[in-house]
Amino acid sequence: MKVQSTTTQQDDHFLISNYDYKSTNIEKNGDKYIAKPQITNFKFKTDTRIPKVGVMLVGWGGNNGTTLTGGILANKFNITWNSRRGTHQPNFYGSLTQSSVIKIGTCNTEEVFVPFKDVLPMVNPCDIVFGGWDISSMNLADAMSRAQVVEYDLQQKLRPYLEKLVPLPSIYYPDFIAANQGDRADNVIPGNNKLEHLNIIRKNIADFKQQNNLDKVILLWTANTERFCVEDPNIHGTAEKLLKSIESSHPEISASTIFACAACLEGCSFINGSPQNTIVPGVIELAEKAGVFVAGDDFKTGQTKFKTCLVEYLVGAGIKPKAIISYNHLGNNDGKNLSQESCFKSKERSKKTCVDDILESNKVLYPTEEELNIDHTIVIKYCPETGDSKKAMDEYIAEIFLGGRQTFAVYNVCEDSLLAAPLIMDLLLLCELFERIQFSKDSSEYQRFDTVLSWLSYLMKAPKSESGITTINSLSRQRAMLENLVKVCAGLTIDDNLRLEVRYG
């Protein structure tokens, strides 16, 4: 695809697009709103050179880590496999960047769509070099069998590639994850000195980058859900205080926060795929100083994706959700870890907040704070027989016309890691792309996006935003935001869905 426009310039290294952003400024005058449309000029500059990228996963030997690594290798080497349903080809279904399309315009009256990945130059996932850590020493072939996610025949075909991959020893603070994880922790960096731990992880990152001749590395936490650390401004509040707390091996410094600090100090962006409060203010300051991104929290895979769609549909239709009752039956190691109350609490928090902004937006349905307090209940039960095929059972009760009720009972089988792996890939590819984009507002100096990469909220259950910026949970708004950003950077027109060119030529 090539854009021909006077507002877009391209040379060997950069694509620059000029974009007039139209917004509406609202002023309140008593009980009236005064709407003032305005236009702000932005320039987006994208470095079109594709770097050699390495990814280090924390929790590499887990269900997500092995499924992602094996799935990408299956695609890279075009490995086919057999099951009772026949012969299967590898694909990237479930990946926004690889398997979804974006409308770029109309040809006569026909709408034209291209793959998301073709709008701006992006890294090919098959070119990513993977590495990482796990507290379990199993090589990735054995870890994939333990996970019981991938079909047996594919496991066998991937074995020669995966058995050579062994996670680095990791830091293990048993107080932060469930006690039932202790029996797999045979690959642990010794000692209790958190500064030494930080330095070892930093060295691991530097060695990985150098040994694989990489231009950049991104770190992603897909290890067990930790309990929340007891956040305290004196411990976690600034970069300096955080580093001091690490130096004194403070008990409220979690393993995930050590990894986040190590990433920032090595100039790598960090993504948190679990719900806990890893990205404390001190981490954000370290990332800011290093010019890297942080993003989180918790992958938005099956049930939450559905929930944010359904609630958006109801509220958008003027129907009032009054209760959401969610049951989860989980049989994988994630479920085992979440069976401990402290870890469950982290998950409950991220699952519960996901519809708040959708309800808050509609003051017709929810005129008071009290009414916003709907009955939103989360239950997670560890049922080993369920394996990685998580069962999500949700009841949605909504109030309709004249006091009537509409109830949905939804049964959703989420093959957890098969949904999570392509989503993790998208997080990595988009984070890498956003590291190559700069913008200028009203002819100011070019700058990078804010440190907390809330552009990725489509992929996060409890999206973290820059301070002062409200979080958007609506899936369609999150997706439109991403789609529009890449279109704007490419110099394409954003679609407002009026379709006037089709209706009136």
Task: Provide the annotated active-site residues.
Answer: 298, 347, 390, 461
Question: Are the C-beta atoms of 345 and 230 separated by less than 8 Å?
Answer: no
Alpha helices (runs of H) in 94-135, residue ranges in sequence order? 96-99
Of 54 and 335, CB closest to ligand NAD: 335
Q: Among 8, 55, 56, 61, which residue sits at the site for ligand NAD (rule: CB under 6 A)?
A: 61
| Candidate segments 26-34, 319-327, 417-425, 447-455, binder of ligand NAD by CB under 6 A | 417-425
Tell me how far, at minimum, the Cβ of 171 lies from ligand NAD, in Å. 6
- DSSP assigned state of 36: E
Q: Binding of ligand NAD at residue 224 (CB under 6 A)?
A: yes
Of 170 and 474, CB closest to ligand NAD: 170
Q: How big is the chain, counted in residues? A: 505
Query: Of all residues in this chain, which one has the CB nearest to ligand NAD in the complex?
Result: 62
Of 271 and 489, CB closest to ligand NAD: 271
Residue with tokens 């695809």: 1
Question: Are the C-beta atoms of 259 and 56 separated by less than 8 Å?
Answer: no
| Candidate segments 217-225, 234-242, 378-386, 435-443, binder of ligand NAD by CB under 6 A | 217-225
By DSSP bridging, strand 129-133 and strand 53-58 are parallel
| Candidate segments 153-161, 216-224, 359-367, 465-473, binder of ligand NAD by CB under 6 A | 216-224
Strands (E), 193-274: 216-221, 269-272
Q: Among 46, 75, 272, 332, which residue sits at the site for ligand NAD (rule: CB under 6 A)?
A: 332
DSSP 234-252: HHHSSHHHHHHHHHTT-TT
Question: Are the C-beta atoms of 492 and 105 separated by less than 8 Å?
Answer: yes
What are phi and psi for residue 239, nearest 5 degrees? -60, -45
- Nearest-CA neighbor of 247 among 204, 198, 288? 198
Tell me how far, at minimum, the Cβ of 191 lies from ligand NAD, in Å. 14
Q: Among 255, 271, 437, 452, which residue sits at the site for ligand NAD (rule: CB under 6 A)?
A: 255
Tell me how far, at minimum, the Cβ of 132 lies from ligand NAD, in Å. 8
Q: How far is CA 435 from CA 212, 416, 432, in A?
A: 20, 29, 5
Q: How many residues bind ligand NAD (CB under 6 A)?
A: 33
Three-state secondary-structure class, residue 443:
coil
Q: Binding of ligand NAD at residue 270 (CB under 6 A)?
A: no
Mention every residue, 6+ apart, whose C-beta is less than 8 A from residue 128. Answer: 53, 54, 55, 72, 428
Token pair listed for 110: 């026909």
| Candidate segments 61-69, 73-81, 283-291, 468-476, binder of ligand NAD by CB under 6 A | 61-69
CA distance 418 to 427: 15
Encoded amino acid at 41, one letter: N
Tell me how far, at minimum, the Cβ of 262 lies from ligand NAD, in Å. 12
| Candidate segments 47-55, 198-206, 416-424, 445-453, binder of ligand NAD by CB under 6 A | 416-424
Q: Among 264, 420, 427, 482, which residue sits at the site for ligand NAD (rule: CB under 6 A)?
A: 420
Residue with tokens 């932005």: 42
Q: Among 142, 348, 394, 416, which residue sits at the site for ligand NAD (rule: CB under 6 A)?
A: 416
Using CB under 6 A as the binding rule, the residues of this chain from 182 to 201 that contact ligand NAD are 184
Tell me how far, at minimum, the Cβ of 250 lies from ligand NAD, in Å. 17
CA distance 142 to 147: 9
Using CB under 6 A as the binding rule, the residues of this chain from 425 to 484 that contact ligand NAD are none
Q: Among 15, 17, 53, 59, which residue sits at the site for ligand NAD (rule: CB under 6 A)?
A: 59
Beta bridge partners of 294: 270, 452
Token pair listed for 343: 């870890």
- Nearest-CA neighbor of 59 among 386, 388, 343, 333? 333
Using CB under 6 A as the binding rule, the residues of this chain from 115 to 144 that contact ligand NAD are 133-136
Q: Among 333, 438, 457, 473, which residue sits at the site for ligand NAD (rule: CB under 6 A)?
A: 333
Q: Binding of ligand NAD at residue 71 (CB under 6 A)?
A: no
Q: Binding of ligand NAD at residue 334 (CB under 6 A)?
A: yes
- DSSP assigned state of 160: H
Q: Binding of ligand NAD at residue 273 (CB under 6 A)?
A: yes
Q: Binding of ligand NAD at residue 70 (CB under 6 A)?
A: no
Q: Among 222, 277, 454, 474, which residue sits at the site for ligand NAD (rule: CB under 6 A)?
A: 222
Mention every residue, 6+ apart, whose C-beta is less than 8 A from residue 440. Answer: 42, 43, 45, 446, 447
Q: Binding of ligand NAD at residue 172 (CB under 6 A)?
A: yes
Q: Binding of ligand NAD at residue 307 (CB under 6 A)?
A: no
Residue 35 CB coordination number (10 Å): 8
Of 158 and 486, CB closest to ligand NAD: 158
Residue 279 CB coordination number (10 Å): 24
Of 301 and 326, CB closest to ligand NAD: 301
Residues that bind ligand NAD (CB under 6 A): 58-59, 61-64, 133-136, 170-172, 177, 184, 222-225, 255, 273-274, 298-299, 301, 332-334, 337, 416-417, 419-420
